[in-house]
Amino acid sequence: MNTNDTTNKLDFIRTIVAEDVKNNKNDGRVHTRFPPEPNGYLHIGHAKAICLSFGIAAENKGGLCNLRFDDTNPIKEETEYINSIIKDVKWLGWDWQDRLYYASDYFEQMYDYAVQLIKKGKAYVCDLDADKIRQYRGTLTEPGKNSPYRDRSVEENLDLFTRMREGQFPDASRVLRAKIDMSHPNLNMRDPVMYRILRATHPRTGDKWCIYPMYDWAHGLEDSIEKITHSICTLEFENHRPLYDWFLEQLEVFHPQQIEFARLNLTYTVMSKRKLLQLVQEKLVKAWDDPRMPTICGLRRRGYSPQAVRNFCTRIGVNKFNSTIDIALLEHCLREDLNKTSPRVMTVLHPLKVIIDNYPEGKVEQLDAVNNPEDPAAGMRKVPFSRELYIEREDFMEEPPKKFYRLAPGREVRLRYAYFVTCKDVVKNDAGEIIELHCTYDPATRGGDAPDGRKVKATLHWVSAEHALQAEVRLYDHLFTNQNPEDVEEGLDFKSNLNPNSLEILWPCYVEPTLKDAAPLTRYQFERLGYFCVDPDSTNEKLVFNRTVSLRDTWAKIQKAQKNKK
C-alpha cells in the first residue's frame, strides 16, 4: 500500500496511460468511464474506482470520463439508485459534463452487432437450459462438450434470434451464445451466453425488449461505442478480458484496453451492495444513508467531506493484489481534512452543572472565542458566560487519581476563553450521585490567563446553562465488532458480527447558542470531543448532531508504534 501522498511515482495504471499518451496511441486521447450498475447505492469502494477513472481523465490534457449506467439487468435496477449515484458522484466533486450514458441506449446497436456475429458464424442460438449449459461447460480440469445446437446454419440462427427478439419463445427457453471453443482453458471462453430471453419491464426501455444482453457481451460494446481508451475495472474481470477482447476483435470495432486493479476492502466493513441491501431491508440499519453505512450517502450524512474521501483514495493508491485497508486510515484522512476546515464550538455531551458562587446573578459576558486555530481567516465569535454553566461530567472527579489534572475538590482549572475557577463544594442527591458543583472564579483571569503568572494544568470546555441549546447527539461505533465481518462460525453469516452498540443516543446535550440555525450537514469540531455534523433530522425545535469521528487518531498511533519498532 502506498501511504505516502507526496510521492511522485505513478501507479501502474497511470504508467500505462502516460506511456500510451507518449506513443500517441488513440491519437493521444485519454477517455475513461465509471460504469455503475444501478442496483444499489455507491459505497467507499466505488469511490476508489470513481477517483481513479475521473482522476486519470482530469490529470491528462483533454481527458474525459463518462458516467455510464450499466443497466442491462432490468430485474434489480431502479430509478432511485440512478438518482442516488448521480448525486454521489457529483458530491465527490467529479463532472461528466454532458456525457451521462445508459447501456440501454445501445440495445439496438448491440443487437445489430449480435446479428453480425451470427452472420460470421461466430454466434448461435442454443436450446439447452441453464442446467445443461452448465453441465456441458466442463470444469477447470475437464474440457466442455459442444452443444448439439452449435452447428445450426447461419440462416436458422438468424431466424431464431429474430424470433427471440419478437417474443415468440418463453423466457429462458433459448439463448444466443458466442461460438468460441468448448475446450478453452478459460471457462469464460467456452461459448458464453450473449443474450437471454426475459420478460421484464426495464426502467428506461419499458417492454420494448424481451431479450437482454449479458454483462460480458455488453460491456466491451459500451466501451467501444463511447470510444473509451482505458477501461478500468476491478480484478475479478481479469479472467473476462480475453472474452472482452475476442468480441471486439470479431466485430473489428474500436478496441479499448481493459485494465484491472484490486478492489478496496476495509476492516470492520462489508462492501458488497447485496449485503448492504440486506442490512437495509432487514432494518438492521435505518436506511442506505445510515451514518454507520460505508455508502457515500452514509459517509456524507455522518459528516465526511468529499475532500477527505478523495484524499483517502489518493493515499491508498492502486495496485494489483487484494488487501484490506485499516479503517483507521480512512478516519485519519477524515480528521486531517476536518481539522483544517471545521469551525470549533463548545458543547457538553454529558452535562454536569457548575455554579460560580461569586459571579453576579443575572450578569452575562460575551467572551471572545477562536473559530479555527488552523485557519486565521475563520475569525472570532462571542460566547456567553454566566453564573451557571455545564461542564463535561468526566472532567470532574471527587477523588482524582494521579495524572487526573482536571477539576477536583479544591482544585483550580481554566474554563476556555473565560476564567480560572476553583471547586469549592460538591452537591449530591439522595442516591449519592453528584448533581452540581459549586465553584468560585478569579475575575483577574478573564480571557484565560492569570496576571500573577500562576498556572493550571487543565483547560475545560463549558457552556452557559441559560444560553445553551439542547441537542440530541448520536455517537457511532463500527457497524461490526469483527475486523473481518465475514469471519463467522459455521452456519452464521456476517450479520452475526453486527455491533449491538454501534449507535448511542445522548439527550439532552448542551451546545453553544451559535449553533441555533446550523444547516443540515454543516460540520464542526466540538472542542475536546471530536468532529460532528448536523443530521438532516435536525429541526429548529430539536437539534440533532452526528459524531463523525472522535479526536483520537488511532492511525497516527499505529504509525508511531511502527516507527518506534524500526
Please give the grid coordinates belonging to residue 84. Answer: 442516488
What's the CA gap between 261 and 238, in Å, rounded?
9
Picked from Mg ion, ligand ATP, none, the partner binding residue 179 (CB below 5 to 8 A depending on kind) is none
Q: Binding segment for Mg ion among 19-27, 34-42, 61-69, 111-119 (CB under 5 A)?
A: 34-42
For the question of residue 273 being annotated catalytic, the response is yes
Q: Between 37 and 442, name the residue whose CB sits nearer to Mg ion.
A: 37
**In terms of Cα–Cα distance, which of 140, 177, 143, 179 is closest to 160?**
177
Q: Between 31 and 179, name the residue whose CB sits nearer to ligand ATP.
A: 31
What's the CA gap between 37 and 60, in Å, rounded?
26
- Residue 240 CB, shortest distance to ligand ATP, in Å, is 11
Q: Between 126 and 296, name the residue whose CB sits nearer to ligand ATP.
A: 296
Residue 308 in contact with residue 249, Cβ under 8 Å?
no
Q: Between 232 and 460, name the residue whose CB sits nearer to ligand ATP.
A: 232
What's the CA gap between 526 and 532, in Å, rounded?
7
Q: Between 50 and 408, name the residue whose CB sits nearer to ligand ATP.
A: 50
Q: Between 300 and 406, name the residue whose CB sits nearer to ligand ATP.
A: 300
Grouping H, G, I as helix, E, B as strand and the rest as coil, residue 508 is strand
Give the per-residue contact string, 2-41, with ligand ATP (x = CB under 6 A; - = no). ---------------------------------xxx----
- Helix %, strand %, coil % of the chain (to 5): 30, 25, 45
Q: Which candidate in 14, 37, 365, 495 is catalytic?
A: 37
CA dihedral 358, 360, 364, 367 (to 10 degrees): -30
Q: Is 273 in the site for ligand ATP (CB under 6 A)?
A: yes
Residue 548 in contact with residue 533, Cβ under 8 Å?
yes
Residue 313 in contact with residue 263, Cβ under 8 Å?
no
Cross-strand bridge partners of residue 125:
176
* Residue at grid coordinates 441555533: 516
Q: Which of 7, 272, 366, 496 binds ligand ATP (CB under 6 A)?
A: 272
Q: Is 233 in the site for ligand ATP (CB under 6 A)?
A: yes
> What's the alpha-carbon Rg for the chain, to the nearest Å?
31
Please give the grid coordinates belonging to residue 208. Answer: 420494448
Give the per-residue contact string, 49-68, with ligand ATP (x = CB under 6 A; - = no). x-------------------
Q: Binding segment for ligand ATP among 16-24, 144-152, 271-279, 418-426 (CB under 6 A)?
A: 271-279
Q: Is 48 in the site for ligand ATP (CB under 6 A)?
A: yes
- Residue 309 CB, shortest distance to Mg ion, in Å, is 21
Residue 262 is given by DSSP the state P
| Phi, psi (degrees; rounded to nearest 5) at 55 | -65, -45
Q: Which of 17, 26, 41, 45 binds ligand ATP (CB under 6 A)?
A: 45
For the question of residue 388 being annotated catalytic, the response is no
Q: Which residues are catalytic?
A: 37, 263, 273
Binding site for Mg ion (CB under 5 A): 37
Binding site for ligand ATP (CB under 6 A): 35-37, 45-46, 48-49, 233-234, 263-264, 271-274
